[in-house]
């Protein structure tokens, strides 16, 4: 059984993580984690990339082409796949994740939909927020409640503070850097508990942020995110400077491999380096 925590730090660009994700950089530097450079699919927007990261499909295939496309996912995703495999899943994240994978009518209603426990949609147990300035510390606390209460095989944690600071102050700002550092501190403080309870950990971003405080387009600072993996299934080290070059399409098949569940047609075979290969 491979239990897994998947942390999607919204708007975590590759450079800001390298500069300010001290704990995970330490783990990669000392051979306790894998680090890759992940080249994001386009458009470098949140809702399209949530669907790409969680289904393994490009935007033209899954059809979530813009943030404004507010509908449920029509394809297999990591939540539907874990449910079908009789695994327990849970999610603490932004309201758009409930809109994509939940059992509630659209759009998200904060006063009705914040707590979706024992849901019948693809997400089984969820706590959701819709204010972009919702504190990351409280979001990690929501996730920890779900983890302790439901002992999920797959737990997704999705903080928005980095994206909020990036839009407000740009990728050049102290505020963006501080939010990234803060998110890594949350991971560092929880890491020992997670590993003790048998969890593998995957951390990445959905897109980056540019010097105007924007993301959507086709340039490295908007597209490149880090991918950190803590799992004894993968080779450890910093692979971010060369081969293999990963994209957003590598993430869902990676999650499937770590959870020991089959991928579905349309997904690529992940280029992450596994031990014994």
Site string for Zn ion, 33-52 (x = CB under 5 A): --------------------
| 163 touches Zn ion (CB under 5 A) | yes
| 210 touches Zn ion (CB under 5 A) | no
At 61, is the secondary structure helix, strand, or coil? helix
Q: Please identify, among the stretches 31-39, 156-164, 230-238, 264-272, the one whose residues bind Zn ion according to the rule CB under 5 A.
A: 156-164
203 closest CA partner among 69, 2, 18: 18
Size of the site for Zn ion (CB under 5 A): 1
At closest approach, how far in Å is the CB of 166 from Zn ion?
7
Which CB sits closer to Zn ion, 136 or 163? Answer: 163
How much of the chain is helix, strand and coil, in % rounded to 5?
A: 40, 15, 45
For the record, the structure tokens of 262 come out as 């089959």
At 89, is the secondary structure helix, strand, or coil? strand
Which CB sits closer to Zn ion, 99 or 163? Answer: 163
At closest approach, how far in Å is the CB of 214 from Zn ion?
8
Which CB sits closer to Zn ion, 112 or 211? Answer: 211
Q: How far is CA 86 from CA 12, 83, 124, 251, in A?
A: 32, 5, 11, 21
Evaluate the omega torsion of the peptide bond into residue 162 and state whether it is cis, within 30 degrees of 0.
no
| CA triple 80-137-225, angle to 5 deg | 60
At closest approach, how far in Å is the CB of 38 from Zn ion?
17
Asked whether the beta carbons of 97 and 126 are under 8 A apart, the reply is yes
| 206 touches Zn ion (CB under 5 A) | no
Closest residue to Zn ion, based on beta-carbon distance? 163
At closest approach, how far in Å is the CB of 65 from Zn ion?
16
At closest approach, how far in Å is the CB of 206 from Zn ion?
8
21 closest CA partner among 139, 130, 159: 159
Q: Please identify, among the stretches 155-163, 178-186, 223-231, 242-250, the one whose residues bind Zn ion according to the rule CB under 5 A.
A: 155-163
At closest approach, how far in Å is the CB of 32 from Zn ion?
31
Binding residues vs Zn ion (CB under 5 A): 163
């Amino acid at each position: 059984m491979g239990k897994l925590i998947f942390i999607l730090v919204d708007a975590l660009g590759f450079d800001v993580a390298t500069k300010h994700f001290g704990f995970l950089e330490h783990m990669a530097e000392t051979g306790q984690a894998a680090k890759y450079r992940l080249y994001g699919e386009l458009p470098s927007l949140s809702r399209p990339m949530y669907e790409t990261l969680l289904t393994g499909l490009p935007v033209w295939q899954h059809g979530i082409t813009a943030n404004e496309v507010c509908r449920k996912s029509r394809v297999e995703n990591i939540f539907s796949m874990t449910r079908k495999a009789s695994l327990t899943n849970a999610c603490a994240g932004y309201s758009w994740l409930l809109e994509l994978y939940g059992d509630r009518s659209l759009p998200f209603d904060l006063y009705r939909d914040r707590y979706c426990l024992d849901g019948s949609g693809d997400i089984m147990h969820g706590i959701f927020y819709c204010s972009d300035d919702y504190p990351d510390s409280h979001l990690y606390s929501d996730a920890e409640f779900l983890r302790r209460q439901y002992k999920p095989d797959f737990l997704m944690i999705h903080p928005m503070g980095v994206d909020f600071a990036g839009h407000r102050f740009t990728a050049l700002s102290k505020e963006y850097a501080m939010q990234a550092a803060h998110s890594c501190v949350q991971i560092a403080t929880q890491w020992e508990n997670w590993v003790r309870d048998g969890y593998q950990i995957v951390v990445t971003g959905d897109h980056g942020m540019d010097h105007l405080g924007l993301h959507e387009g086709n340039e490295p600072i908007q597209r490149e995110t880090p991918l950190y993996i803590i799992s004894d299934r993968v080779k450890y080290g910093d692979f971010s400077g060369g081969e293999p070059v990963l994209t957003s399409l590598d993430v869902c098949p990676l999650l499937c491999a770590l959870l020991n569940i089959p991928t579905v047609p349309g997904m690529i075979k992940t280029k992450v380096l596994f031990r014994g290969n």
